[in-house]
Amino acid sequence: MDNKALGGTYVEDISTKIICMKISGETYGVDINYVEELIRITDENISFSSSIPHVKGVISLRGEVVPLLDLSIMFSLAPGKSEVIGKKGVVLRVEEGKGLFCIIADDVFILTDISKKAISESPKVGIKYADMISGIVRDENMGGSLVIVLDPIKILRRHRELSGIGREEG
């Protein structure tokens, strides 16, 4: 067996753990190394509504202001209005100090020990948000279903673009 993922790129045969989440009926995953914390979104921990469609408010997490990002809106999977109270949140940190954000999810579960060579390249066409995906993996532990692996750095970059936030501002 060779060590090439779809597209012919060499990938070292090591495993990683990803946290998986359901968003608008699709399964997404993110490398556990980016995960700061898992939370439940409640009336008590959410502040203000945002005029930016994909930002559903902010939470304060140990003194840091964390935007709540609705990927179903960011990825054009659902209409603009969705309830976030009672949903789960995956808090991610991608840059020291400035790169903290929370992805709103319908459900969250852990998928362990995925071989990095099993993660195929993201399709270049057919998905509006392909630039925010690092790949796709089929997991036999979940009945062979596909997991879309997200790129948190690119999600944060897109959030900043859509929100008009300068890179230096955080």
pLDDT digits (tens, 9 = 90+) for 22-33: 999 999 999 999
Please determine, looking at this structure, whether the domain spanning 15-163 carries the CATH number 2.40.50.180: yes
Contacts of 126 (CB under 8 A, 6+ apart): none
How many angstroms separate the CA atoms of 90 and 145, rounded? 21
How many angstroms separate the CA atoms of 75 and 65, rounded? 23
How many angstroms separate the CA atoms of 5 and 15, rounded? 14
> DSSP H helical segments within the chain, as ranges?
71-74, 152-163
Adjacency order of strands within the sheet including 15-23: 107-115, 15-23, 26-31, 145-150, 133-139
Instruction: Please give the pLDDT value at position 169.
Output: 45
Band of residue 163 on the pLDDT scale cut at 50, 70, 90: confident
Q: Which amino acid is at 168?
A: E
Backbone angles phi, psi at 122, to 5 degrees: -70, 140
Instruction: Please give the pLDDT value at position 6.
Output: 44
Instruction: Please give the pLDDT value at position 5.
Output: 44
pLDDT digits (tens, 9 = 90+) for 81-103: 678 899 999 999 997 667 899 99
Taking the domains of the chain in order of start, what are their residue ranges?
15-163
Q: Is the pLDDT of residue 143 over 90?
A: no
Strand pairing class (35-40; 88-93): antiparallel
Range 106-115 average pLDDT: 82
Work out the percent of the chain whose per-residue pLDDT is above 70: 81
